[in-house]
Structure 1
Amino acid sequence: MSINKVVIWLVVLGYLFVNVSMQLDFFAGRNIFDKYQQANDAVQALSIAQHAYYAKTAFLLILLILLASNVRFGLGFGVAFLAYALTMLAFFGIGAVTLVYLGAAIALLASYLISRSASAKHTAG
């Protein structure tokens, strides 16, 4: 298994963990968007939720467009996740969550490049 596949699975498992945690918080009646930004009122809470929704929608649309354009999954996932991380950073600023997303995006792209380079060397040699 390539380093890129390992990183992809780590990011997917991390994303799954975050979403399951959000579901548990939702059904427990807690604000599921507190991890991004603390809201002072209901209007601000709605704005935070909208921003998170826009970022996730952009991530999925970019990923779908890249995959439909025959971009390799490892590269498409890395590029789409980088767009997601940068959008979240723009909406919510530097914080623990946005830095984790940015780190994951960089790891995805770096591992893709490493895997492609290793594959090219193996093929050429």
Structure 2
Amino acid sequence: MKFCSVAAWVAVISKILAIIGAVAFPIIDERKRRKASINRLARREYALVKEIENDLKDSIDDVVYLESYKQLESFNSMLMILSDDEELIQISEKINNLFLKQTDTECFNRELRELFQRLESMYSD
């Protein structure tokens, strides 16, 4: 029975590690890019909603007439095309619906805070 040398074992193990690395690194890199993309989109959604919230304090107009709301609508339309993150899309839809119905101020503020917290958790990880 013939035994392989240590050098042969090292060569085989290094080839196996190279194959694993060639497969794993692109997957890891893609996950990092996806997370960064979701992070940027969540930050932008958050900033737009904050802007609308500030504009609502200073305006007597309905939210649909605010330029900041129009920007949010445009962003959310783009978000549905570009993002495959279901949670972010759901949050943006809930925020939009919340602005459109704005009935009870206390309920509106509480729900908006909850959605803000969910957005913050998406980009603070």
Q: TM-score, normalised by structure 1?
A: 0.35
Give the number of the structure whose residues are more often helix, by fraction.
2
Q: TM-score, normalised by structure 2?
A: 0.35
